[in-house]
Structure 1
Amino acid sequence: MRPIYSLNMQTPKQINMNEKTIYLSYWVRRYLTDYMLAAKNLSRNTVRSYRDTFRLLVGYLRDVCNKNPDKLHLQELTINVVSDFLDNQQETRNVSVATRNQRLAALQAFAKYVSMNSPEHMEWSRNIRNIPKKKAPKKMITYLEKSEMDALLSLPDQRSAQGRRDYALLIFLYNTGARAEEASDLNVSSVTLAKSKSESTIPLVTIVGKGNKTRRCPLWDNVCAILKTIINDRKPDEPLFLNRYGQRITRFGIYEVVSRYAQKLELQFPSVRDKRVSPHTIRHTTATHLLQAGVDINNVSSMKIIKRESADYHTRALSLSSVSLETGNKPLSHQ
């Protein structure tokens, strides 16, 4: 005989499920594994950043608050707890205001996810999402002047295989404004090159950026030439840029290459030391030089190098630079 349940009664399965949803650990697991990786399809760096936020939060709850994160109820993650956690990060880890705001953004995105899947937690979610970001002083855009960028590109010794690889990597970053991870992920098949001068194929590279958004960027003639020398007869599914061991270069490897030549550049341009040159600096350099060359900001933003809403980018880039359009200089010409 089937059991008869009243309207207020729940099956054992329903009871267990409702018990799970009150715990913070249940929602963190669902958010990181089911949502971020499967549904949201975010980049590895974004997932890693969000995971680090929860790892630090768990450590704070355990070591500072003396709470067992596995048994912590979601409602116990209050405004005060989150604010104290963010303050603790600034005090003990000496993180910047920008990093603090990134941690807060991760927790607020998590709160939004919870409310979408559990309406009974909407009030809790609203409270977390109303925690204000901390204001940080706006930093000036860091980029290299045309003379500095030319000097950087002249540093690799192209007589050696590694020197040619380094030069190809540096000028590729300058040509495309690609992020380090985007350049690392490229395969030989990502690049379309003309096989001969008579061929009408437009040389370009297909880059997969944040959120798996794809963009195509034309390649300069000298970039095509150096890429041909490092590709040789490699297969389409092989990495475009290799490390010294013949394996795919990582984004950390790209940072190391840029940093190594930036240190050499400081000997010629001591002011570069304050710019802390990185692959992202070259990315800013590409955007700034395009704007200085008269390229419309909408076209630059369509290349996913800068955000369109950065309206003051154009003004600052043109007003600060020593490269003047009136002199006829073309900032991106490096032949």
Structure 2
Amino acid sequence: MARKSTYNVQPFRSETEIDDFLFFLRRTKNSKRDVFLFLFGLNTGLRMSDIVKLRVGDINKPEPIITEKKTGKKKRLFLDGIQDIVQEYIKDMKDDDYLFPSRQGGHITVNTVYKLYIKIGHELGRDDIGCHTLRKTYGRFYYLKTHDIATLMYLFNHSSEKITKRYIGITDDDAKSSLKGFRIGVKGGEM
């Protein structure tokens, strides 16, 4: 019997990788929706199952709070950093409109997003991009900027640092890179 291969979704590791992905998203039939969904996911860290079902009214308020599908827990959204693009995207929409409408009516599905991301991933020569790439990228960029693993664990509802670091793709190479040139109390070559 053939062994089933594991599909290991990875985060984007650089702004260049994000820009490359956006290049293809800007050429889709629904580019405005697809680009906003991508940027919204990158900047909120929400699961795709929570993103696709959002309505305009869910986020068009000073302190939006949603209920996560997977955990059933309430989660506050921090949209300050992307409020400009949120307002631009929703300016002609009603509060009861789906944020990410399908052409067939209703909202787009996680599977639709997944297929699109797989297709673009293949265009980029990658087989490790999927819906969770956005959430993992959010975590990775947040951690590399702040090194605040405790808050990230809270945001992701993870029970350990090890789980969170593995989830966002922090490896020994990342640790080695961050320690390059790190020295305390050493002046020049003197002891």
What's the TM-score once normalised by structure 2's chain length?
Answer: 0.73
Question: What residue in structure 2 maps to residue 187 of structure 1?
Answer: 55
Please tell me the residue identity of whatever aligns with 2:160. E
Question: What residue in structure 2 maps to residue 148 of structure 1?
Answer: 17
Q: Deviations over 1:94-146 (max 9, x none)?
A: 668x9xxxxxxxxxxxxxxxxxxxxxxxxxxxxxxxxxxxxxxxx97722111
**1:228 alignment partner, one of 87, 103, 108:** 87
Please tell me the residue identity of whatever aligns with 2:132. H
2:101–2:108 CA contact under 8 A, matched in 1:
yes
Please tell me the residue identity of whatever aligns with 1:170. F
In 2: Cα distance, 1:161 partner to 1:232 partner: 20
Q: Does 1:216 align with 2:76?
A: yes
Deviates more, 1:281-290 or 1:223-232: 223-232
Question: What residue in structure 2 maps to residue 309 of structure 1?
Answer: 160
Task: Write the mapping of 1:16-165 to structure 2, written as runs, cut at 5 A.
Answer: 142-146=10-14, 147-157=16-26, 162-165=30-33
Which of the two has greater helix per residue? 1
Please tell me the residue identity of whatever aligns with 1:145. R
Question: What residue in structure 1 maps to residue 187 of structure 2?
Answer: none
- Say if 1:262 and 1:207 are closer, same or farther in 2 by CA, change over 3 A: farther
Structure 1: gaps (5+ residues): 1-90, 99-138, 194-200, 328-335
In 1: Cα distance, 2:119 partner to 2:65 partner: 27
Q: Deviations over 1:205-254 (max 9, x none)?
A: 43321231111121254x33333343234332221111233431111122
Please tell me the residue identity of whatever aligns with 1:317. I
Write out the 4+ residue segments of structure 1 that deviate beyond 4 Å after TM superposition. 324-327
**2:35 alignment partner, one of 160, 167, 192:** 167
2:11–2:140 CA contact under 8 A, matched in 1:
yes
- Say if 1:252 and 1:226 are closer, same or farther in 2 by CA, change over 3 A: same
Identity of aligned residues (%): 23
The structure showing larger relative contact order (alpha-carbon pairs under 8 Å, at least 6 residues apart) is: 2
2:149–2:161 CA contact under 8 A, matched in 1:
no
- Say if 1:326 and 1:236 are closer, same or farther in 2 by CA, change over 3 A: farther
CA RMSD of aligned residues (A): 3.4
Number of paired residues?
A: 175
Question: What residue in structure 1 maps to residue 138 of structure 2?
Answer: 286
In 2: Cα distance, 1:298 partner to 1:284 partner: 16
Cα shift at 1:274: 4.0
- Say if 1:235 and 1:309 are closer, same or farther in 2 by CA, change over 3 A: same
Structure 2: gaps (5+ residues): 181-191
**1:256 alignment partner, one of 105, 109, 115:** 115
- Say if 1:140 and 1:186 are closer, same or farther in 2 by CA, change over 3 A: closer
- Say if 1:213 and 1:95 are closer, same or farther in 2 by CA, change over 3 A: farther
Larger C-alpha radius of gyration, 1 or 2? 1
**3-state DSSP class of the match of 1:165?**
helix
**3-state DSSP class of the match of 2:76?**
strand
Q: Deviations over 1:253-301 (max 9, x none)?
A: 221232233233x1xxx4xx242x0011221121112111124111112
In 1: Cα distance, 2:9 partner to 2:101 partner: 30
- Say if 1:171 and 1:205 are closer, same or farther in 2 by CA, change over 3 A: farther
What's the TM-score once normalised by structure 1's chain length?
Answer: 0.44
